[in-house]
Amino acid sequence: MSPRDASPDNLAGIAADVVGCERCPRLRRYCEEVARTRRAAFRDQVYWGRPVPGFGDSEAWLLVIGLAPAAHGGNRTGRVFTGDKSGEWLYGELFRQGLASQAESVSRDDGMRLSGAYVTAALRCAPPGNRPLPVEAERCREYLVREMRALARVRVRLVLGRIGFEAFLRARRALGRDDLGPKKPAFGHGVAHPLPEGGWLLCSYHPSQQNTSTGVLTRAMWQEVFDTAARLRDRV
């Protein structure tokens, strides 16, 4: 990577800063411990064990914001939403929409390419029990803020779950956009909110196994969210 490629103002520079981040000692200890002990099914694999950067197209019109890497997903593979059931749902649907080069995402070296989409998360380290502390979310916010600034062509911001929803709103305020009025948008699956700067905020339940295995989020509901995103893309 050349010095120009690693500029702090572009996605490569942001990714480099994410991977080297040591701001949250609790999360770093946890991710490193998971990488050392590993799950039996992945015993022969070398875990990534570091903070996980965003992934996708710098010209994206769709920005997807999740919660955090999974302990044995992104923390293992080094790519967000890769190597776990949530990733199967996400990349499978991105493929159906023509935004991903393949339907399965198993490692950061599997050849996956995104066109028109960028995937990121509120936190870049896997939190114990999927429960980050508020201070950890605050420390990590800068990376999402920088990504949002760099992704100038985004039209639809798809937030997965309430943590993704709150992360987007706080990052937006950090960018100086505190213009949604006294009553902020409400989270609800499939709910879309127009944004003053143009484009849309679109909400969805997170495709976690807790939601998909219980029917809280079905395939039909999931597909409809992305179909809605496609319809919203060119709406004023």
Domain at 157, CATH number: 3.40.470.10
Q: Is residue 215 part of a domain?
A: yes
- Looking at residue 94, its amino acid is L
Cα separation, 166 vs 27, in Å, equals: 20
Q: Is residue 138 part of a domain?
A: yes
* Dihedral, 120, 158, 88, 78 alpha carbons, nearest 10: 0
Residues sharing a CB contact under 8 Å with residue 180, sequence separation 6 or more, in sequence order: 169, 195, 196
What pLDDT is stored for residue 7 in this prediction?
Answer: 56
- Looking at residue 20, its amino acid is G
Q: Is residue 3 part of a domain?
A: no
What pLDDT is stored for residue 102 in this prediction?
Answer: 97
Q: Tokens in use for 78? A: 């080094």
Q: Is residue 65 part of a domain?
A: yes
Query: Tokens 């965003």 map to which residue?
Result: 54
What pLDDT is stored for residue 13 in this prediction?
Answer: 96
- H helix and E strand count, the chain: 8, 6
* Dihedral, 50, 173, 94, 128 alpha carbons, nearest 10: 40
Q: Tokens in use for 64? A: 């997807």
Q: Is residue 5 part of a domain?
A: no
Which residues are 189's β-sheet partners?
none
Q: Please, are residues 191 and 118 in contact by the beta-carbon 8 Å criterion? A: no
Residues sharing a CB contact under 8 Å with residue 133, sequence separation 6 or more, in sequence order: 26, 127
Q: Is residue 4 part of a domain?
A: no
Task: Provide the number of structural domains found in the chain.
Answer: 1
- The boundaries of the domain holding residue 47 are 11-232
pLDDT in tens, the chain (236 residues): 343 445 557 999 999 999 999 999 999 999 999 999 999 999 999 999 999 999 999 999 999 999 999 999 999 999 999 999 999 999 999 999 999 999 999 999 999 999 999 999 999 999 999 899 999 999 999 999 999 999 999 999 999 999 999 999 999 999 998 777 667 789 999 999 999 999 999 999 999 999 999 999 999 999 999 999 999 998 86
Q: Tokens in use for 32? A: 């490193």
Other beta carbons within 10 angstroms of residue 3's beta carbon come to 7
Q: Is residue 191 part of a domain?
A: yes
Q: Is residue 161 part of a domain?
A: yes
Q: Using the 8-state DSSP alphabet, how is residue 195 labeled?
A: -
What SS3 state is found at 14?
helix
Which among 132, 154, 170, 143 is positioned nearest to 202, based on CA atoms?
A: 154
Which among 131, 137, 61, 143 is positioned nearest to 94, based on CA atoms?
A: 61
What are the residue ranges of helices labelled H in the chain?
A: 11-19, 25-37, 74-77, 85-96, 134-150, 161-174, 209-212, 219-232
